[in-house]
Amino acid sequence: MRKLLAVGLGLLLVGSAAVALAAIPDSNNVIHACRKNSDGSLRVIDTEAGQRCPNGYTPLSWRQDGLPGYQVVEQSATIPAGYAEREFGAVQVRCPSGTRPLGGGGYGPQGGGANWVLTLSSPFMAGTDAIGWNAKFLNVGSVPDNQFDATAYAICADVDGSLT
């Protein structure tokens, strides 16, 4: 009985080690699975070990790390004082090479007497390609030298697969 228990425990450990060595995700950081057509259940597979989806299943795959190149980049600038006339100031931020903006915005200081309004938030274009983000501010302060620092930000990612 002890010998049978020892053999069973040994097989369990070997099986566990094999599962631990499975290449999920694969070497390209991709997770592969099979979706059962009849009920939608999923089964993760190791394609680098030769596993494939059986009949009645649809293969699926997705990147483990989400959107490649995803990052938020910022750029700050000083918006001029609004004495005598209301002055606009703009801040532009570019996405890193190989990435495109998914969205963005702008913000200024909170409190401290700075009175500002974000009047424009839009993609920064180079021809027909979005390459960053624009944020335009209106300084509505009436105090001389009421300048403030404002920031534009862009949410960037590799949306065309150039970084993979």
CATH number at residue 107: 2.60.40
- Using a pLDDT cut of 70, give the percent of the chain over it: 73
Query: What confidence tier does 11 reach under pLDDT thresholds 50, 70, 90?
Result: very low
Whether 97 and 152 map to the same domain: the answer is yes
Tell me which residue range forms the domain holding 27. Answer: 2-63
164 lies in some domain:
no
Which 3 state secondary structure label does DSSP give 156?
strand
Residue 19 has pLDDT above 80, yes or no: no
**DSSP 8-state secondary structure symbol assigned to residue 143:** S
Average confidence (pLDDT) over 55-78: 87
Query: What confidence tier does 144 reach under pLDDT thresholds 50, 70, 90?
Result: low
CA distances from 105 to 44, 108, 152 (A): 39, 11, 6
Bridge partner list, 138: 88, 117
d(CA 160, CA 100): 8
Whether 37 and 76 map to the same domain: the answer is no
Whether 136 and 99 map to the same domain: the answer is yes
The DSSP annotation for 94-130 comes to: EPPTT-EEEEEEEE--SSTT--EEEEEEEEEEETTEE
Average pLDDT, the chain: 80
